Structure 1
């Protein structure tokens, strides 16, 4: 998409997100309806951060946008828990690729931005899924030592190479990350944003960024010189 598209999309979100927040704060709508609207707001917040990154913002300045994402996620969780029957709140579902990927994006952003301990704990409390995925838990364990160790990946067919890169040595480490990045976009086909740039007026496109790689690179001090020019790699270092 053109630079003009990203500027227009950013202007839209700069206006849209506060409007959504104000509408929700004043709403007396049924909880189910508020829950749906709050989830839409949550999506808009992380898309806005990625729009800003796609426009070329300095990565460390994105911490402000991360705070808004976290707040929107917490509010969604609070409403959804109230709507759900006891013990049946299930977002995010790691068994759903889309939920898993967004969770990986958020934990990777938190690590790459070096958010404070309070924000990090708030985030993992929202995501839950304790001990369900080995890659996610390895990332969390770089900041929180009390989590259980997981031994399997939820999506090994997609994430095995990135996971193996954590414990590999060079040059195998870089080869494994390159392998992951090479197949990353096509592996994201089940997500709602896959090929969204082909939709009317850009389809809400916000950039195709493999944020999970940035999280692994930052957390495990991986040299990214071999893959820093890959199209979907967000070079946050």
Structure 2
């Protein structure tokens, strides 16, 4: 167990439940149970996000990184499925896909603000990098995520992961939360650990009114799939630390730091 906020029994039950949820929802989607194109997009988005949540939950449960990697590799096909259903939206409804594919702005989709898709995208990239997934797979992920030249943090991360011709934005989608992490890329080696420490010290609290999963460890009766507790991990920090070769010895001892994903 890497996570101590929930019991082993909780995660063992949850991992079964989330797998059943993904399988049954996918079967219903393939069976044509959702009659409108927008409902199919909604459902494909739900499955894609559940796949990310499943990988995080396996990490929290304490799975070996080779096992976590297997679930991380299964995220991309669900993201491709979401794109395929978005492509099938009627031309007058194509704008609807923005709420599912855009990572910035004030839009929301199925009651979830865009910042959640931004966070899950960073987590996905962090898990890909931390689990040492092949470059060809990462290239496909970066291509489908897109957003080139729109967010300086995402742009710097994507360039480091292989999108070398990517333009770098001078602005952030969510500066009130992610400015310290973005600043690490322009900081000196001596300044980088302090900025990372500042970021993780404020990360969870700053997302109180933003992230769907905030305070989910206190929820007993789940009404939405986003209410389920999967673990609180600042994967964004491990990703940036790895990219910039910041050693784990210079980082704080923090309960939300995924220390075994940091390579140096």
User: TM-score by structure 1 length?
Assistant: 0.91
CA contact (8 A) 1:94 1:129 kept: no
**Runs ≥4 residues deviating over 3 A:** 84-87
Per-residue CA deviations over 1:98-157 (Å, capped at 9, x if unaligned) read 222122212222222332233222212222211001111111111121211222222222
CA distance, structure 1, for counterparts of residue 126 and residue 42 of structure 2 = 25
Moved more, 176-185 or 139-148: 139-148
Match of 1:12 in 2: 17
Matched, 1:82 2:106: no
Matched, 1:124 2:142: yes
- Correspondence list, 1:48-87, <5 A: 48-83=54-89, 85=91
- Within the candidate set 201, 216, 223, 1:196 is matched to 216
Q: Relative contact order: is structure 1 or structure 2 higher (C-alpha 8 Å, sep ≥ 6)?
A: 1
CA contact (8 A) 2:104 2:115 kept: yes
Instruction: Tell me the CA shift for residue 28 of structure 1.
Output: 5.0
Gaps of 5+ in 2: 1-5, 106-113
Match of 1:155 in 2: 174
CA distance, structure 2, for counterparts of residue 152 and residue 122 of structure 1 = 25
Match of 1:92 in 2: 102
CA distance, structure 2, for counterparts of residue 139 and residue 75 of structure 1 = 24
Gaps of 5+ in 1: none
Secondary structure of the residue aligned to 1:225 is helix
- Within the candidate set 183, 192, 214, 1:173 is matched to 192
Secondary structure of the residue aligned to 1:148 is coil
Match of 1:102 in 2: 120
**RMSD of equivalent CA atoms:** 2.0
CA distance, structure 2, for counterparts of residue 39 and residue 80 of structure 1 = 10
Cα gap change, 1:170 to 1:146, in 2 (>3 Å): closer
Cα gap change, 1:84 to 1:200, in 2 (>3 Å): farther
CA distance, structure 2, for counterparts of residue 84 and residue 196 of structure 1 = 36
Instruction: Tell me the CA shift for residue 170 of structure 1.
Output: 4.4
CA distance, structure 2, for counterparts of residue 46 and residue 214 of structure 1 = 17
Number of aligned positions between the proteins: 237
CA contact (8 A) 2:28 2:34 kept: no
Match of 2:110 in 1: none
Match of 1:134 in 2: 152
User: TM-score by structure 2 length?
Assistant: 0.82
Cα gap change, 1:201 to 1:229, in 2 (>3 Å): farther
CA contact (8 A) 1:174 1:224 kept: no
